[in-house]
Structure 1
């Protein structure tokens, strides 16, 4: 059974126009000064809040809540370190739009003009806030920064690294929507140790996080899209330690680190994945299809191998191809054990 559409996109040549013009200057000096003062006060309040140590009792209680009554002993994950100050999970649920600005076919992030895209994302945020009023929602843009492709390219690695000016554009769009950013890596015939360090300048930013996609990690040398790839716990631990060092060296809040998964072999030796106070790991159910198929994928490949947190992807187009021709709702996802704390729309 195919769980995910594995067609690859050949990136268009040229620059995508983002339509993000600069705002005109303010000619009222006093009004501008007041605005700056208000912004400064708001930033200071946010920094003060993020610097507070994690309330461990509240953390434990929230873990219990999202375990959603599981009685198997798997959830919540008890043997984990408490995160550093400023941790997003599990206090907030992240709701993200996924894609690439060069392609309308890779997800909602690139399908719509920025203003419309943010409006659509905000509508999903409101649906989640209504479905689970106890959990605040953090909007996010999940951008594919290294894209697997059907052409080998000059070095034969079958991946394209997005130009920094496009990443900068995503950061600007995210700022308008008060969203955090995930940079996603599809290594293809390259490897994570070669690709991750190239994004370090962005990952040093407090609001930029990481995603990796085992589907396109082709350790056998096969072309991406011809079979499903894999990452081992060793690859995940490399990324986690890399992020942890950035957090320590730059005094950052914890990084959220998502790992796509919809088969068993996509992630091997999951029991060896190390948890760290600086990093929050999300095993992200990335399969598409009708509701029962998606719930089965979550039950077979995410639930039995607990790591730390879980995520769930919803596809606007692929999920509705077969009867009952509809996407799962927030209310349905909140019935899962455990409840996903990261939601992604493609």
Structure 2
């Protein structure tokens, strides 16, 4: 199914009213296969204190990458000339399954919509569904928190970005600890600021071995437009800057590789993707962030994720927006496992 630019634009553009809402609130301060067993033996549980240094099994890594390629015959997948990751790498040994959102808004995702115990009950159900659909791939649970939210108002610095207080991020880390070995992603929507200026605000958290990063080109407004008026963009140069920033943190603090998620649902959201650099310290996930009916989502994945290989791939499922049109249902893990390549990062909003 060919997706025209207007259809793609409508597919995943975030409801901007949610951002203004967030801004107003935030001012208040079963048996496993041998392969699975081997994968578990060669990778370590996420440490909340210090990383471990057992090298990865490169033969297993190659075989799992080939499995994710899902029979692709074009030569695109698996991506050629990837560096092997440092010890402690999560991907492709485990599939990451996360809930996304912000604690200030029940409308921005499941992470903020439900109280922690109910949220975990729901996420654990999704994790079990994935374990059943693909028993050979262990699931790594995670929470994906929007730590800087593109805002409907300019704020003190006029950048239209609402940075979450450290106390809010600390609350998310505490919620993560309710389930052992959970990882956390901090997501940045930079609005009229820029990624270089925003990263230092969360650097102390990125120094933790279980905290990873997401960036959202949709709200990187390089042309000066207000966020929510049009879709923003990042270039490979921006992504390479972030990747090097993360790599420096990993090397300085002797951490396992950081998982680095880049949201995407249009071509212009990521320009010059072929120039994105891969590093042993960082695992890049190009994440299909579009909403809509299954065929539309599959088309977006095919056009903007499959067709421009970077390293790993992700797929977002929207509990509300994905069911607005027939067949009025979420895609299942079984359906997503038929995609080429198979997504190794799954996000529920």
| Structure 1 counterpart SS, 2:319 | coil
Using a 3 Å threshold, how does the CA distance of structure 1 residues 14 and 58 change in structure 2: closer, same or farther? closer
Whether contact under 8 Å (2:72, 2:341) holds in the other structure is: yes
The answer to whether residue 241 in structure 2 is matched with residue 233 in structure 1 is no
Give 1:197-212 correspondences, 5 Å limit: 197-212=200-215
CA drift of 1:46 comes to 10
Counterpart in the other structure of 1:263: 266
Task: Give the match for residue 152 of structure 2.
Answer: 150
Given the alignment, which residue of 168, 171, 182 partners 1:169?
171
Relative to structure 1, the CA distance from residue 43 to residue 262 in structure 2 (aligned partners, 3 Å threshold; closer, same or farther) is: closer
SS in structure 2 at match of 1:96: strand
Q: Give the 3 Å change call, closer, same or farther, for CA 133–16 of structure 1 in structure 2.
A: farther
Hey, what does 1:90 align to over in structure 2?
92
Is the 8 Å Cα contact of residues 99 and 108 (structure 1) preserved in structure 2? yes
**Alignment check: 8 A CA contact 1:285 1:298 kept:** yes
The residue number in structure 2 matching 1:319 is 322
Over 3 Å counting, the alpha-carbon distance change for 1:125 and 1:15 in structure 2 is: farther
Q: How many residues align?
A: 322
- Aligned pairs (5 A) from 1:36-55: 50-55=52-57
Paired residue for 1:190?
193
Residue by residue over 1:185-219, the C-alpha shift from the partner in whole angstroms, topping out at 9 and shown as x without a partner, is 00000000000111110000000000000000000
Match status 1:4 vs 2:47: no
What RMSD in Å do the two structures reach over aligned CA positions? Answer: 1.9
| 1:24-53 Cα shifts (integer Å, max 9, x gaps) | xxxxxxxxxxxxxxxxxx999999994210
Q: Is the 8 A contact 1:271 1:305 kept in 2?
A: yes
Cα distance in 2 for partners of 1:233, 1:14 equals: 32
Listed one character per residue, the Cα deviations across residues 226-266 of structure 1 (whole Å, up to 9, x for unaligned) are: 00000000100010000000000000000000000000000
Answer whether contact 1:109 1:141 (CA < 8 A) is retained.
yes
Tell me what 1:306 maps to.
309
Cα distance, 1:6 vs structure 2: 2.4
Aligned-residue offset at 1:4 = 1.1
2:252 aligned counterpart, secondary structure: helix
Larger Rg: 1
SS at match of 1:196: helix
Check conservation: 1:97, 1:344, Cα contact below 8 A.
Answer: yes
In 1, Cα distance between equivalents of 2:163 and 2:50: 36
Q: Which residues of structure 1 form unaligned runs of 5+?
A: 18-41
Equivalent position SS for 2:12:
coil
Match of 1:35 in 2: none
> In 2, Cα distance between the equivalents of 1:5 and 1:214?
11
Query: Are 1:16 and 1:101, in contact at CA under 8 Å, matched by a contact in 2?
Result: no
Q: Check if 1:293 corresponds to 2:301.
A: no
- Residue 183 of structure 1 aligns to a residue whose secondary structure is strand
Structure 2, unpaired ranges of 5+: 1-6, 30-43
How far 1:78 sits from its partner (Å)?
Answer: 2.0
**Aligned match for 2:127, one of 125, 136, 142:** 125
Q: 1:249 aligns with which of 244, 247, 252?
A: 252
* Correspondent of 1:160 among 159, 162, 172: 162
- Are residue 13 (structure 1) and residue 25 (structure 2) matched? yes
Aligned to 2:279: 276
Q: How far apart in 2 are the matches of 1:226 and 1:238? A: 26
Q: Distance in 2 between matches of 1:229 and 1:252?
A: 32
The whole-number CA distance in structure 2 between the counterparts of 1:120 and 1:43 is: 22
**Contact 1:16–1:102, Cα closer than 8 Å, also in 2:** no
Cα gap change, 1:46/1:201 in structure 2, threshold over 3 Å: closer, same or farther?
Answer: closer
Q: Secondary structure of the equivalent of 2:177?
A: helix
